């Protein structure tokens, strides 16, 4: 999942890592989280970038689940996240079936596109993709990609 809409860079005076979600980002993520929870999807783990906007997106999703899941910050999901980091994350959590990763573009679009054997995918803010990855072959199947607007 890509983090939701953040406060505009031009209007933010602090550190980029501390730039929060906008009011619309908070609201839309809360609405989308209810829909996401309503799908009955089970998550074993939520990992997110340490950037405030990604952490807050992960918190909102995790709190909305039938069985809430607290996100765990993983520095490897910071901007610059790549397939090597993804492989390390998945190897460390062998046996964990369902993990939600919350991070940034263009990283997620590149990785999902690569796993699915297609071109880079354009992840809009708040978009959610389900990729089934075979841990033996490292091949992935993009099962679905949903923009946040469809979850509102």
pTM: 0.93
50, 47, 58: which is closest to 25 by C-alpha? 58
Which residues, 6+ apart, have CB-to-CB distance to 3 below 8 Å? Answer: 21, 25, 49, 51, 53, 54, 56, 57, 102, 103, 104, 125, 126
* Structural domain boundaries in the chain: 9-151
Residuewise pLDDT in 10s, the chain (152 residues) = 999 999 999 999 999 999 999 999 999 999 999 988 888 878 999 999 999 999 999 999 999 998 999 999 999 999 999 999 999 999 999 889 899 999 999 999 999 998 888 777 888 998 889 899 887 888 888 888 888 888 76
Tell me: the pLDDT tens digits for 11-33?
Answer: 999 999 999 999 999 999 999 99
Tell me which of 2.60.40.10, 1.20.120.530, 3.40.91.50, 3.40.50.1240 is the CATH number of domain 9-151. Answer: 3.40.50.1240
In the three-class reduction of DSSP (H, G, I as helix; E, B as strand; rest coil), residue 150 is classed as: helix
């Amino acid at each position: 999942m890509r983090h939701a809409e953040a406060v505009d860079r031009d209007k933010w005076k602090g550190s980029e890592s501390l730039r929060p979600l906008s009011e619309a980002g908070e609201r839309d993520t809360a609405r989308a989280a209810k829909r996401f929870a309503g799908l009955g999807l089970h998550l074993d783990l939520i990992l997110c970038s340490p950037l405030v906007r990604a952490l807050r997106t992960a918190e909102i999703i995790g709190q909305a689940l039938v069985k809430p899941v607290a996100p765990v910050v993983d520095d490897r999901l910071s901007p610059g996240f790549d397939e090597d980091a993804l492989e390390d994350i998945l190897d460390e959590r062998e046996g964990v079936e369902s993990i939600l990763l919350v991070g940034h573009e263009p990283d997620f679009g590149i990785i999902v596109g690569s796993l699915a054997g297609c071109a880079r995918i354009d992840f809009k803010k708040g978009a959610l993709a389900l990729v089934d990855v075979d841990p033996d072959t490292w091949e992935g199947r993009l099962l679905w990609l949903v923009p946040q607007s469809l979850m509102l």
